[in-house]
Structures are given as structure tokens and as C-alpha cells.
Amino acid sequence: MKIVVTGGAGFIGSHIAEHYANQGEHVVVIDNLSRNRLLNKKSNDFLYNWNYLSKLKNIKLVKADVNNTKILFSETKDADAIVHTAAQTAVTTSLTNPGKDFINNALTTFNALEAARKNDVKFFVYCSSNKVYGGNVNRIAIKELKKRYAFTGKYVKGVDETLSIDLCEHSPYGCSKLASDIYTQDYGYVYGIKTGIFRMSCIYGTRQFGVEDQGWVAWFTIATLLNKPITIYGDGKQIRDVLFITDVISAYDAFIKKPMSSEVFNLGGGPKFSLSLLELIDMLKKLTGKSSKIRFDKWRTSDQKVYISDISKAKKLLDWKPKISPKEGLKILVNWAKDNARLFG
């Protein structure tokens, strides 16, 4: 197979590229290496995943913007699948520069879909977000426990794919991801492309360069190891289901390899693999022997006190389930971060 991975030098994209390259598939990675610029960060990790992939067989690296349609259409010719991970990833960045967010999320997705349509690509996997549900998540009843909030009533198993995506506030990031989500669905309906839309909760793992604005599990881990202060916006009881990167890849792979039509999946660890910010800090203290330097600040715009995915549909249709528990995954992440502390400044 020929697999094209947009944003392939990023955290999720690089793991997808590595997975298929190790299986002997021909992988094309397209990335403009703009992550640090998009997040307005200076970091030593700028080329880490790019250089990592350059050492693997079966991977072609193409430094280009996905919105360069000439290159995009050329590189996706004869492709069997496009896995579209290229994106601006932070809600905070979208609030300060919504135009940049739109270009790097909605427009890139449209161009990637057009490449799939014009080149007759069979499979298209889109990395969507739980933010497509926007403020509707905050209308779900919750209860407050000692160190976490929790859903109550019909959503005790989490949010399923039928929760409304309409008539609520989203943030510009949520809007650009939602527009991309709907476009991807429609290209499946109208043009017959087998589109897999994965509305993801919190994904974490090795080679993730988390920052305060994005990638909170990795950011808390890095900050704890380097004795950097951590700011918690809110009270720290906000909860997310977390999913280790290898479990993400297995879900994508199951979609590409199973005969099915276009589908939307909520993808996360589910209720059993969920963490609050305070619980993560406690786990990191046990794993590292270090106490994080914590300060509290006011809640941020568009934050959700609770988001947990109901992953029943993915389990049923993909014959998939998460395997790496938060305890096991966090231990792997801590060890990787220790070995690569020089990269974090």
C-alpha cells in the first residue's frame, strides 16, 4: 500500500508513518515543519520527529505545506490512503489568531479531501476532535468528587457520536475542526471515499512535545521532570479520558483494513482510562519522586469540566479496544522524557 500522512512530522503523524513503514508499506510524509511557529514556541524539538523518520526505511519525506496543492496532488497520486493529521492544535492559538487556525485546519482538510477525490484515493482518515461538540458538553449534568468531576445520568459511559454539534459556542478551533469533520463526512457520502472521522479525546505518548496550550499529559510530565512550574486553569478536577498513541494507531489501522462505509468514531480511553489534572499530578509524583510546582488561575475560555468518550461504536465496528492503561502509558512517557530531557530546554 501507499500511505500518505499529512503533518507526518508531528506527534500522531510520525507514529502513523513509523507504523506503516515498519509493516513494509510505502509511506509519504508531507509536513511544513511549522508546529513551533503555529504555537509561538521556541523549542529544541523542532526537527526531532523529522530526523527520527529519516532513519527509517520505506518513508519519503516531503517538506511542503498541505495547502500547496500542486505538491499535494502529485504526492497523493496512486495512494491507497491519506491519513490527515496536519493541523493547528491549540484552542488558545485559535482565539488569538482565528484566521491562521482556519487556514491550517479547515483549508488543509479541504485540500486533502480534494486530493483524495481527484486521485481516487480509497481511504481517508481524519483526526477530528472532541471540541466539535463545543459547549453542548458543558450542558451535561456532572457531579463533583474529591479530586475529579464526573458525568451523571445517561452519559455516565461518556459522550457518544449522537451528541449535538450545533447551537452552541465552540471556539475558532472547534469551528475549524467541525467544518473539517463535516466536509470529510460529506466527501464520503457524495464521492464514495471511505472516510474515517475520529473525534479524539486526549492522546499522549512518546515523541510528544507537550506545551501548556496543547498536550497536557506530556506537558505535565516534562514540567515535573524539569522542575518547571505548572499552571492549572480552574480547580484541577477537570477530567479527560486519555489514550496512548499505539492504541490510536490500531484504531486507524482497523478502519483501513476492515470493509466498511464512512463512519464517525469517538476515540479515547473511555471511562476506565480517565484522569483529572490533580490525579495526573499525583501519579507523576509517584513515578518521578518529584513534586510539581503548582499555581492556580481562572478557567480558560471554551474549557470543559468533563469530557469522556463513549467508545462503544469503535469497539463494535472496529473490533478495537484500548490496551495501554494510563499507569502503563505514563510510565513509558516518563522514561522517554527522561532519556530526552535535553530536548525540552
Q: Which residues are marked as active site?
A: 173
Under 8 Å CB-to-CB from 137, ≥6 apart: which residues?
Answer: 130, 159, 163, 304, 306, 307
291: closest CA among 301, 299, 300, 281?
Answer: 281
- Please provide the DSSP assignment of 18-83 as one string: HHHHHTT-EEEEEE---HHHHHT---TTTTHHHHHHHTSTTEEEEE--TT-HHHHHHHTTT-SEEE
> How far out from the chain centre does Cα 76 lie?
22
How far apart CA 18 and CA 58 sit, in angstroms, is: 9
Characterize the bridge pairing of strands 194-200 and 149-151.
unpaired
Residue 41, C-alpha cell as written in the block: 514556541
How far apart CA 91 and CA 81 sit, in angstroms, is: 28
